[in-house]
Amino acid sequence: MKLDVDGVVATARAWSAQDPDEQTRAELDAAIEAAASGDGPAVQELADRFAGRLAFGTAGLRAELGYGPLRMNRVVVSQAAAGLARFLVDTGRSRSVVIGYDGRVNSDVFARDSAEVMRGLGLEVTLLPSALPTPVLAFAVRHLGVGAGVVVTASHNPPRDNGYKVYLGEDDEGSQIVPPVDGTIAAAIDAVAAGSITDLARGTDYTVADDALLEAYVAATAATVPAAGLPVDQQPKVVYTAMHGVGWETARAVFLRAGFAEPTTVPEQIDPDGAFPTVSFPNPEEPGAMDLAIARGTAIDADLVIANDPDADRLALAIPDGSGSFRRLSGNEVGWLLGWQAAARASSDGRGGTLAASIVSSPALARVAERHGLAYRDTLTGFKWVSRVPELVFGYEEALGYLVDPDVVRDKDGISAAVALLDLATTLAASGQTVADRLDAFAAEFGAFASGQVATRVDDLSRIGTIMAALRSDPPASLGPVAVRSVTDYAEGVDGFPPSDILRYDLEGDARVIVRPSGTEPKVKVYIDTVAATPSEAQALVDALADAVRPLVS
């Protein structure tokens, strides 16, 4: 199909006219000039950049930085801020918002744009005073009693990405947005985007939060665990990395307030740096991301190596492997340990309540809940669902997200999870035990569970739909050595869940395989869970199933 060059150029010029960012405007103007001169690739690039808009969904916005409506930039962010403000006004919610941001490129700029646009539309706006962890923003929504919260972050995405995540206050208690609210906000953003952001009133008389807000988060988070049971010189030795993110200063304050020793840090990664110079992918799940931290742990003979992701809402843990190095625990293993600890306290206190995990997380937590007389709930993936489980005691998902105290933060929180792990490790150390011993005790108590993943990254997003369609049209009768007992397709909605692009295969012998597209990356992800008589048998079955499923999603 022949491109309408004049139309593409006119659309791009209209965008450039409202772009307040000198860099993106200059890049766009250069592309416009090239396209107007008849440069075919430049015309195609413009057509691609203006072929649609970033979809605002339950994860808000997330994309690479750059010009145009399919990238993260000041125009897109201003439109989103105005749309969210109009949503709050039109739905009768509190006309107040708190805004935070991390250390990524332009996060502070996008946060100030949001504050000015929302203030210009009449909202009471509080801006956090500096780049801070996402959990601090989630806490602030409830602590300040505002109608909504926004944090500018792309969490653990690639360095060139940024994003825009929305929380709701009042009856939503500081949880992330869920359908149908996301659609309503998206419609409000689209209405704003029909005009120019130069027509939006802006106000600079917003409030910048003072130290009392951060102090309240530190105090509340430190209080989620009992006082440390050992003097600091007898506690486990810990290495901490912020992975070039914003976690360290807040985490340090919480650790010290709770009575734990200050960890040894990874100096190359401790300060915020949006370029993420020492990691190719700032996600502690990725191979190599924790190498510097583990090297530091080996050098000082540490008992634990802990890592927050760049906005500190996730936590990774590595422990000595007995051969002079460390092994990183999976998100499920950390979830088992923290869930067991939370369940034991809830049952001993007579509180009752519910444990919850996303459906792609290990089924082990359900067994923990049963043994401790607690309820259990599966949720769809994402903490927007986990955090909304009634009477929640503890929730997690295998992607390194843990909610250890719903009364403080209704979202995953890598700092409170770190404190909970320090509490566990210190309690174990007081009786001469380690985290590895606790994992062995878990297997003895609840069964030898193992988990694994297969992920296929795609360059063409349509490939994801092709893979999922092929699995639906020709479901496997077996995966490797194990017969498929049943297949559940969540596309039409199952067990009260809204329709979701998820396939679940229940296998003979209590094994399970779940396939779904990633919600934040161009990937198809496969989650494998098994339980067997011994950990080695369970892991061997995971490996066999991974080999069997890999060709189906490649």
Please, are residues 374 and 383 in contact by the beta-carbon 8 Å criterion?
no
- Choice among 96, 107, 114, 155 that is catalytic: 155
* 499 has a pLDDT exceeding 90: no
What pLDDT, on a 0 to 100 scale, did the predictor assign at position 521? 75
Distances (CA, A) of 448 to 55, 113, 115, 131, 501: 41, 51, 50, 41, 30
Distance CA 416, CA 260 (A): 13
Res. 175 pLDDT band, cuts 50 70 90: very high
What pLDDT, on a 0 to 100 scale, did the predictor assign at position 367? 96
- The closest of 480, 491, 537, 464 to 513, measured between CA atoms, is 480
* 1 has a pLDDT exceeding 60: no
Summarize the confidence of residues 497-514 as an average pLDDT.
Answer: 92
Please, are residues 84 and 166 in contact by the beta-carbon 8 Å criterion?
yes
Res. 198 pLDDT band, cuts 50 70 90: very high
Per-residue pLDDT reduced to its tens digit, 232-257: 999 999 999 999 999 999 999 999 99
* 35 has a pLDDT exceeding 90: yes
- Give the 3-state secondary structure of residue 140: helix
Per-residue pLDDT reduced to its tens digit, 440-476: 999 999 999 999 999 998 888 889 999 999 999 999 9
Distance CA 151, CA 134 (A): 7
Rounded to an integer, what is the distance from CA 518 to the centroid of its chain? 12
Domains and CATH numbers, the chain: 1-51 (no CATH), 56-209 (3.40.120.10), 231-445 (3.40.120.10), 448-552 (3.30.310.50)
Is 330 one of the catalytic residues? no
Distances (CA, A) of 411 to 141, 392, 446: 11, 12, 27
Q: Is the pTM of this model over 0.85?
A: yes
Distance CA 445, CA 371 (A): 9
Res. 368 pLDDT band, cuts 50 70 90: very high
Distance CA 417, CA 306 (A): 10
- The closest of 409, 460, 11, 423 to 193, measured between CA atoms, is 11
Please, are residues 88 and 147 in contact by the beta-carbon 8 Å criterion?
yes
Please, are residues 429 and 390 in contact by the beta-carbon 8 Å criterion?
no
Any residues with CB less than 8 A from the CB of 299 and at least 6 apart, and which? Answer: none
Res. 67 pLDDT band, cuts 50 70 90: very high
* 221 has a pLDDT exceeding 70: yes
What pLDDT, on a 0 to 100 scale, did the predictor assign at position 2? 64
Crossing angle, helix 134-144 and helix 211-222, to 10 degrees? 100
Worst-scoring range by mean pLDDT, 65-74, 112-121, 363-372, 493-502?
A: 493-502
Summarize the confidence of residues 74-103 as an average pLDDT.
Answer: 98
Share of the chain above pLDDT 90, in %: 89
Per-residue pLDDT reduced to its tens digit, 150-169: 999 999 999 999 999 999 99
